[in-house]
Structure 1
Amino acid sequence: MRLFPILAASVLAATALAGCEKQTRAPFEAGVCMHVIEQPDGTLKFNPVERNVPSMELCAASLEGMRIRFMRLGSPTRELTGAYQGKFIFVEKEGIYLGDTYEGARFMSLVRTGDGRLAVPGAIRQVQ
């Protein structure tokens, strides 16, 4: 009988702590692909890169092109962050990751092939 109040208190405490975590969400603007820049004060600035983008994959491709152009200009930055319709897009060395929040979990969307191109995970089979 005494276990229930302890269990309920534990669940309530865990829920309260999860509510205290910072969870920055991306703005939802239909069809707008954005580049996200973290400011020195920790806030995020959302700059539109392209409008009327029909899918998240095309937004990720635009961000990848932007990353490559930055590198050609001598930028030391190898990773960048974008946003599309309420989701964050993280362009990293291993591939493209998606996340619901800036600080939260990220999920693999596209992986880099051996020559640096992006592909759907598992789409390219290795010949043995």
Structure 2
Amino acid sequence: MDNFNINISKEARKNLINLLKKNPSYSCIRIDYTPSCKGGGFDLFLDEFKENYIIESIDNLYFMYSDFLLSKALSLDILFKNETFMIKAVPKNKTQISSKNCSNNCGSCDNCSSCLSKANCHKNKKAN
């Protein structure tokens, strides 16, 4: 599996299992990577099993993620502290996750979520 590891703390595992029990219409935890101007990040979602995703079971807790995730991280540590889940990633290539992908405030409005609207994009501002 391309040497990708998911490490989950006991507290995070317990809380994710409780979330799935409270929401029986979901069967797994989906891990996604969301690119942004600040380098992007990983998110957890309750979801149903889907085709074309990798399914991994860790102590009877199922995680689902795409091949794309494998290109971004070598491993993920999932923790639960202060009533929230935290994800620590070990990037495959440090520039992929922590790079400054955008410039001039919002960079490319087509690729960055930090632009609140297309009107705020530097591409749409008139030069002085």
TM-score range, shorter chain: under 0.3
Higher strand share: 2
Q: TM-score, normalised by structure 2?
A: 0.23
In terms of Rg, which structure is larger?
A: 1
RCO comparison, higher one (Cα < 8 Å, 6+): 2
Higher helix share: 1
Q: TM-score, normalised by structure 1?
A: 0.23
